Structure 1
Amino acid sequence: MPSSFPSPLQSTNLLSNLDSFDLTPSIGTELSSSTQLSSLLTQPGAVKDLAILVSQRGVVFFRDQVLSTKEQLQLVTVLGEESGKPKESGLHVHPTTEETSELGSEVRTIKPDLDKVRYYGLERPRAAKAWHSDISFEPFPSAYAILKLNHIPETGGDTVWASAHEAYDRLSPALQAFLETLTATHVGEPFFAPGRVFRSPRGHPENVGQDLKAVHPLIRTNPVTGWRGLYVNRVFTKRINELSLDESDHLLSYLFEHVSQNHDLQVRFKWQIGSIAIWDNRSTFHCVTQDYGSFPREGERVISLGERPYFDPASGSRRESLRA
């Protein structure tokens, strides 16, 4: 936890002249297909304003993009740098990425067979069980993520995002105050397998080891916006440390359902070839819609690492900020 907390970033409105529209009141903005991400990389200050927009809106969508994997890596790097990430935080190396990965250790290949998705029969879980925030099991987890899909099914395979800011704002003041005193343990259990050895370090000197475990506050302050957000997710959050196991299980169950059952704090995106999504993992949760059977849904995701999660008592909520 930093000795002094950073101040929220201020936009210079370099993107204000671009055509865009909000998909819902609380989360999700789409920019016109006339905006090319590759061109923003060449405009001084544009990526910083993009980082602020992504953090404020949770996830920003682009269509009809021509962006190479090299440019994707460059963009997520600059997003982190321009938004004030710690100098030790680089791009994440997924713990299961092979040393000989064709695209390099910092690119996570999205494929149904790699993710071990079960499409048919009684083994298929409820879709809500897949809600998560990327790599929250790391001591220094994800800030920004960029996903582009190169192969998509004819229909299906949408991704749904939910706002951690709105999830926090929807809680009662008494529950907010209680959660602000708590921490939770996050564990990367989905990646455990007999005999598997995880890559290490994973983009930060402290993202090491084989247990894939970290402790984070339940309520997290986003340093870019200064807004508070709920920071627990069904896939990786296993225990609230200050409570008994029964208390922890019941409270986590409520918080997980608070995110998954409130569709008015969510946005759903239908992919097309050339679509790209950029989101802030500090302030969102997401979940793929696994309704596309054995049809191809493949692409690349890259992740920048941010700060160690913290709660700033002086930070405010998204609603308070927008009212002001």
Structure 2
Amino acid sequence: MAPSTISLAPSTATASATESTKLKTTPTPTPTQAVNTLTAPLPYPPAFSPLLSHPHHESTPVIGTEFSGDFQLSSILSSPTSLQHLASLISHRGVVFFRGQEITPSQQRELVQSLGELSGKPATSGLHIHPLTRENGKDGDHISIISSEERIKYENARKERERVRELGWEKGEESQLASVGWHADITFENVPSDYATLKVHTQPATGGDTLWASGYEVYDRLSPSFRAYLETLSAVHNADRFKEVAAARGHTLRNHRGAPENNDLELTAVHPVIRTNPVTGWKSVFVNRSFTKRILGVSIDESELILNHLFRLVSENHDLQVRFRWARYKDGETGDVAVWDNRSTFHTATDDYIETGGVRSGDRAVSLGERPFYGGQGERSRGRREALGWRGVERIY
């Protein structure tokens, strides 16, 4: 489905309202450009949208929307209008939750690919293949199994090898801060993710929540002068640690990972520190503790100061986070689903159930978007609070 040729079918709304839902794109770029083809941000889904007719509520004022289980994501897979409205809703709200879903792994793949296509992803960007994905897996290359049991196996193997973690901890030491897990998916790729979806079908009796945080709100909490400075900087993202994981598991890394720009084993990319989301036109901080290693153009000491400050804004501000408690279903097939925009959010798992013998497992599909960019000033790129007309958090700058 080529983004530059899509025209959405009319809904029951007026002609003028219908016109606003049409995809606005430019001609498809060459593979080396990997740019989003939207010529203007998508509006927030209109009140008449069939999607918003289903029971839902905002999880917090800043981030998250939740739909109840009477709505099945699989029911809109053949509706470009509803899918584009969903893409816009996810990008504006950061993450959207759906209770009691029966969607299959193949439908998850179809869902995230369609969300990207209907919001201008490059034609060369497909679904991501994780570097650690084994070939000929039962669910194919594009589904990552999120498994606490696999994670424990890796941790045990790593400890036995007594490797020194690259963050500089001494041999045998582990951070006792759960906040070290905050990340956005696959930012080590030259063309990283736009949308991702996770369905958790095996859940412990208690615990195992996932948290998301808003990169938009992190940006808005910076002083204007500091924002302006960060907008001039780029940072290095790296995932060499996956090479260690692959060695512990006894298999090789995948070197063709869903886009021509991601066909190497370097697992290193340079991205702007402040990124514009093309779907909303809003600015977001785009560094994360798991993959961002260094800011370019400053000393290593200055880089660590800046990065640690940004990481703390994510982890220490609970009022820009949402915590989602996955429900437990008896049939082993039904599960809650989260769909999020990796360009403007961070997330982290909660491993509080592992010591009690709990097991958590789910299926994740990740779409690839565009090369990250900073869009400058004006209507095309501004802060979320400015766009919504909200007053800033009271501070003296």
Deviation at 1:40, TM superposition (A): 1.4
Q: Does 1:224 align with 2:285?
A: no
Give secondary structure in 2 for the equivalent of 1:206.
helix
In structure 2, distance between residues paired with 1:43 and 1:209? 36
Q: What is the DSSP-based 3-state SS (H/G/I as helix, E as strand, rest coil) of the residue aligned with 1:63?
A: strand
The 2-side partners of 1:28 and 1:4 are apart by 26
Counterparts of 1:12 and 1:129 in 2: how far apart (Å)?
35
Matched ranges for 1:144-183 at <5 A: 144-183=195-234
Pair 1:52-2:88 in alignment:
yes
The amino acid across from 2:304 in the alignment is D
Between the aligned partners of 1:34 and 1:90, the Cα distance in structure 2 is 30
Larger Rg: 2
**Separation in structure 1 between the aligned mates of residue 315 and residue 69 of structure 2, nearest angstrom:** 30
- Displacement of 1:211 after TM fit? 1.6
Match for residue 214 of structure 1? 269
Amino acid at match of 1:85: K
Q: Give me the whole-angstrom Cα distance separating, in 2, the residues matched to 1:162 and 1:6.
A: 27
User: Structure 1 vs Structure 2: percent identity of aligned residues?
Assistant: 50
In 2, Cα distance between the equivalents of 1:34 and 1:3?
Answer: 33
Give the CA deviation at 1:165.
0.2
Relative to structure 1, the CA distance from residue 249 to residue 81 in structure 2 (aligned partners, 3 Å threshold; closer, same or farther) is same
The TM-score normalised by the length of structure 2 is 0.78
Cα deviations across residues 251-278 of structure 1 (Å, max 9, x unaligned)?
1111111110011100000001420000
Deviations 1:177-207 (A, max 9, x none): 0100000000013312248632121000110
- Alignment partner, residue 300 of structure 1: 363
The 10-residue stretch of structure 1 (222-231 or 192-201) with the greater mean CA deviation from structure 2: 192-201
Alignment pair present for 1:79 and 2:115: yes
- Please, which of 64, 71, 95 is the counterpart of residue 28 of structure 1? 64
Contact 2:94 2:340 in 1 (8 A): yes
In the other structure, the counterpart of 1:8 is 41
Alignment equivalent of 1:262, drawn from 305, 310, 317 = 317
In structure 2, how many angstroms separate the alpha carbons of the residues matched to 1:80 and 1:213? 23
Residue of structure 2 aligned with 1:283, choices 329, 344, 351: 344
Which shifted more, 3-12 or 229-238? 3-12
Rounded Cα–Cα distance in structure 2 between residues aligned with 1:3 and 1:22:
28
The reply on whether 1:202 has 2:257 as its aligned counterpart is: yes
Higher helix share goes to which structure? 2
Alpha-carbon offset, residue 4 of structure 1: 9.1
Deviation at 1:5, TM superposition (A): 7.5
Name the CA shift for 1:124/1:111 in 2 (closer, same or farther; >3 Å): farther
Q: Does residue 137 of structure 1 match 2:188? A: yes
- Alpha-carbon separation, structure 2, partners of 1:55 and 1:234: 22
Amino acid corresponding to residue 189 of structure 1 in structure 2:
D
Structure 2 residues not aligned, in runs of 5+ = 1-32, 160-171, 330-334, 391-397
Question: CA 1:289/1:216 → structure 2, altered by over 3 Å: closer, same or farther?
Answer: same
| Residue 386 of structure 2, aligned match among 309, 320, 323 | 320
Q: What RMSD in Å do the two structures reach over aligned CA positions?
A: 2.1
Secondary structure class of the residue paired with 2:367: strand
Query: Equivalents in 2 of 1:47, 1:114: separation in Å?
Result: 33
Amino acid at match of 1:143: D
* Count of residues in correspondence between the two structures: 324
Listed one character per residue, the Cα deviations across residues 267-295 of structure 1 (whole Å, up to 9, x for unaligned) are 00000142000000000000001101131
One of 298, 303, 309 as aligned partner of 1:248: 303
Identify if the C-alpha distance between structure 1 residues 39 and 4 changes in structure 2 by more than 3 Å, giving closer, same or farther: closer
Stretch moving more, 205-214 or 137-146:
205-214
Give the conservation status (yes or no) of the 8 Å contact 1:65–1:276.
yes
Instruction: Find out whether 1:235 has 2:290 as its counterpart.
Output: yes
SS of the aligned residue for 1:38 comes to: helix
1:113-124 to structure 2, matched below 5 A, reads: 113-116=149-152, 123=174
8 A contact 1:20–1:30 mirrored in 2 = yes
- 6-15 or 79-88, larger mean C-alpha shift: 6-15
Unaligned runs of 5+ in 1: none
Letter in 1 for 2:145: T
Amino acid of the structure 2 residue aligned with 1:36: Q
- For 1:136 and 1:240, locate their aligned partners in 2 and report how far apart those are by CA, in whole Å: 14
Matching residue of 1:62: 98
CA positional deviation for 1:12: 5.1
Measured after TM superposition, the shift of residue 307 of structure 1 is: 0.3
